[in-house]
Structure 1
Amino acid sequence: MLYKSRTKPKELRILELLDKRKGLAEKDQYHYLNLKKGYEGELLFDSLIEKLQCECLILNDLLLKINNSTFQIDSLIIIQGKICFYEVKNYSGDYFYQSDKLFKKPKLEVINPLHQISRSESLLRQLLLSTGINLQIDASVVFINPEFTLYQAPQDRPFIFPTQVNRHLESLNAIPSKLTDKEKRPRNN
């Protein structure tokens, strides 16, 4: 069940309007296109998780804060006794993984999304514990674009590749889940 839908980021809306009105400088155009591509990838993932048949709560586009630290979660699914959250990347092209770093071929280093989900997972755990919730958290990076390839991908990292997304969602559907009123009820703290 979709509980919180996604809204277009304010920065993306502003850049769209500026681009239509007067065009953007090359640097701003590049940033705008990256934001737009990321948003489109998130919408694609949203369209897939909205088809889940299991009893779950789906919260998209979360901006959370704990101990003066703000963090963002693209998609979060609450299933009985477990929280799955996803960092969605709409990268296209050939990438490789080396020494815990991610590179776009031929050798352009990009921010490793594993670092982002590690931070977000830690902050989410702190937030949940501060409200008395102690649930298992599974964090994953979803590469949603079918034109994405990651060479030398380590098998022990929480990556979900384009060819694995449907199987992953099928595995969620296979989890017996019955949410209680307590899990469904929003907390006010």
Structure 2
Amino acid sequence: MNIIPSKIYQVDSNRRVLNKPTELQQLEVLEKRGGLASEAKRKLWIHRTGFQGEQTFYDFMFRMAKSHWRILHRTWLNIKGRVECDFIVITRVGIYFFEIKNYNGNLVYEYNQQTVNYRTISGDIMGQFKNMQERTIDMCRQMNYSGGVFHQLVYINPYYQATLPHEWLKSLLHYNQLTDYIEQMIREEATLLPANFSPDEAVDSIESLFACTEPYPPNVLSPEELKQLKHGIACSHCGSFHTICTRYKLICVHCRQNEPKERAALRLIGDYSVLTPFNPLQAADIVKIAGESFRRDYINKILRRYYQLAKVEKTGQYINPSQNFEHTYPHLSFKLKNSRNPLQ
């Protein structure tokens, strides 16, 4: 199997909120637009719960991590096969690998099986953790990395506990132990000799030698599947599709929320981006899910203003960021221009 090198995702230390995985964003858009089959609803719940646990862990890192630390989120590595790391935190003295678990119940692991509130769940979490541990130790050895290499399984739900065999207890952290552990990381950096790689050099080495593509990319919806979804643009406040588009505003008939038209158009393009994550963006395709909210020429104007052309010689096709608006342009703010509200 050929494994294609890929750019790893380094968390922006100025942003408190993590980018959601594209697959989770896609499931949420399908849920909003009425295209989520019943068997996929549990998949959405699993992905959403897992991401909430990762966000909770990152909240600790955002508050406590040093500015020169480097944090990698959901990194796929090729070390004798693909392996995923939920978080990699790199300091001047060590590389820390964190596996995050967020189950709604007490976890008990024994005999290579796990139960949550006495209900057996599939997989072998400690077997997977051991596999990640062994492969990442081998990765650091191949890099000739001189610093420490640490692995922790974090049971992040603050209301429940995990029970593991004695040999794994040192690798387990509960929610109420995270602050102490990060403070210990800070103390270790102050007292131990620096590694032969700076945090930035370690990131570059991991990326160039071991980063690989995710083996489970999100689906791309076909034109026929897109036709089955709710068309239009949902209210950003209440989610209702009963909205009216005026010259400058999107107005919700249900809750009367006003939103700048430009921002609403970017949200629509974001929905289309995650439903067809590998296709170039074209106004003619996007307006097919816009209903009567936006005209093609207006979507073209927004694409020209905010998106990069896929090819100079191919006009009308723009690079798809495969992310919703909230993740593509989190820095943008919009002023609501004056216009008459037809609902008043």
Shorter-chain TM-score range: 0.7 to 0.9
- TM-score (ref. length: structure 2): 0.49
Is 1:52 the counterpart of 2:37 in the alignment? no
Letter in 2 for 1:41: G
Alignment of 1:167 with 2:173, yes or no, is no
Distance in 2 (CA, whole Å) between partners of 1:175 and 1:82 is: 9
Structure-1 separation of matches of 2:65 and 2:194: 13
139-148 or 123-132: which moved more? 123-132
* Cα distance change of structure 1 residues 131 and 170 upon mapping to structure 2, 3 Å threshold: closer
Which residue does the alignment assign to 2:116?
104
Highest RCO, 1 vs 2 (Cα 8 Å, sep ≥ 6): 1
Name structure 1 gaps, 5 residues minimum. none
1:4 paired with 2:19, answer no
- 1:62 aligns with 75
Could you tell me how far apart the structure 2 residues matched to 1:89 and 1:104 are?
Answer: 12
1:61-99 Cα distance to aligned partner (Å, 9 max, x none): 2111133x1111111112233211101111111232323
Match of 1:42 among 34, 54, 68: 54
Distance verdict in 2 for CA 1:53–1:88, change over 3 Å:
closer
The correspondence of residues 53-92 of structure 1 with structure 2, limited to 5 A, is 53-54=65-66, 56-67=69-80, 69-92=81-104
| Identity level (%) | 21
Distance 1:123 1:141 in 2: 16
Amino acid at match of 1:56: W
Q: Is the 8 A contact 1:58 1:77 kept in 2?
A: yes
1:117 is matched with 129
SS at match of 2:108: strand
Which protein has the larger Cα radius of gyration, Structure 1 or Structure 2?
2
Cα gap change, 1:110 to 1:66, in 2 (>3 Å): same
Deviation of 1:57 after TM superposition, in Å, equals 2.4
The alignment's C-alpha RMSD in Å is: 2.4
CA distance in 2 between counterparts of 1:97 and 1:128 reads 28
The answer to whether residue 42 in structure 2 is matched with residue 27 in structure 1 is no
Structure with bigger strand share is 1
For the residues of structure 2 that align with 1:134 and 1:89, how far apart are their CA atoms?
29
Residue 164 of structure 2 corresponds to 153
Q: TM (normalized to structure 1)?
A: 0.84
Q: Match for 2:117: what amino acid?
A: K
In structure 2, the gaps of 5 or more residues are 1-8, 12-17, 210-344
TM-aligned CA distance change 1:179 to 1:13, over 3 Å: farther
Counterpart contact for 1:56–1:179, Cα < 8 Å = no
